[in-house]
Amino acid sequence: MVSKLIISIKKLFNVYNTTNNYMKSISEALMWRYATKQFDTTKKVSDEAINEILEAGRLSPSSYGLQPWKFILIENPELRTKLREAAYNQSQLTDASHIVVVAHRTTMDESYIDTYMQSIADTRGMDVKDLEGFKNAILGSIAGKGEADIKAWNARQSYLPLGIMLETAALLEVDACPMEGFDSSKFDEILELSGTEYASVAILSLGYRSTEDATANYPKSRFPAEEVIIRK
């Protein structure tokens, strides 16, 4: 009886301790990360870490679970030189270990929703007919939206995996720079997205900071929590 009690107390303490450490390591990782300006061109991120980061993006939530995105992983140096020219010559494009271009769907139609319904049915061992109500709810919600609204909606969704990939990179101690400073129509041409149902929306460059990147030492600048977080 006494030994059981001791084990339970120990377990409780471990849970508390693990949770506490974990929470600390998240905020530490978020303080450690910064939008890396200069990458060390000699350092490569492991396939394991890259796959973990991409998987975190794939597991991102989205409105109705529609996942209106693709993540394009680019290592090819020639392709990256071309992309750099279309990104105001930002060095991260060629100097980071890997580049991920996040693209969003430009449309949302019944055939895409059908594909999505089928994937749920397959995963959960259901009859797709049982998802008819869900499908109609999605169709109903997009019926009133114009082309531009759908595009903007899909683009907004795509920032969720971007954020999750950024945080995952930080937890893995992989440096990253989220980037919007590029000409998306030029990117779409280079990446052969033009004329497809996808368009580039953001870049995530991944690698390791150069020791010469002075911005790595800038103190993190954020508005105070009391101003940002409203409690009612």
Ligand X SMILES: Cc1cc2nc3c(=O)[nH]c(=O)nc-3n(C[C@H](O)[C@H](O)[C@H](O)COP(=O)(O)O)c2cc1C
User: By CB under 6 A, is residue 180 in contact with ligand X?
Assistant: yes
User: By CB under 6 A, is residue 181 in contact with ligand X?
Assistant: yes
Which of 34/39 has CB closer to ligand X? Answer: 34
Site string for ligand X, 140-169 (x = CB under 6 A): ------------------------------
Which residue from 90, 154, 157, 168 is in contact with ligand X, where contact means CB under 6 A? Answer: 90
| Binders of ligand X in range 50-89 (CB under 6 A) | none
User: By CB under 6 A, is residue 37 in contact with ligand X?
Assistant: yes
Which of 34/153 has CB closer to ligand X? Answer: 34
The strand order across the sheet containing 69-74 reads: 69-74, 98-105, 198-207, 175-179
3-state SS assignment for residue 221 = coil
DSSP string, 100-161: EEEEEES---HHHHHHHHHHHHHHHT--GGGGHHHHHHHHHHHHT--HHHHHHHHHHHHHHH
User: By CB under 6 A, is residue 34 in contact with ligand X?
Assistant: yes
3-state SS assignment for residue 207 = strand
Closest-CB residue for ligand X? Answer: 181
- End-to-end distance of the chain based on CA atoms, in angstroms? 45
Which of 66/216 has CB closer to ligand X? Answer: 216
Q: What is the enclosing helix (H) or strand (E) of 98?
A: strand 98-105
List the structure tokens of 228. Answer: 């940002």
Which residue from 50, 108, 177, 191 is in contact with ligand X, where contact means CB under 6 A? Answer: 177
Which residue from 178, 186, 189, 213 is in contact with ligand X, where contact means CB under 6 A? Answer: 178
User: By CB under 6 A, is residue 186 in contact with ligand X?
Assistant: no
Which of 174/177 has CB closer to ligand X? Answer: 177
User: By CB under 6 A, is residue 131 in contact with ligand X?
Assistant: no
**Span from 18-26, 95-103, 122-130, 178-186 in contact with ligand X (CB under 6 A):** 178-186
Q: What is the enclosing helix (H) or strand (E) of 177?
A: strand 175-179
- Name, in order, each residue with C-beta under 8 angstroms of 135's C-beta and a sequence gap of 6 or more: 113, 114, 117
Q: Binding residues for ligand X, per CB under 6 A?
A: 34-35, 37, 90, 177-181, 202, 220
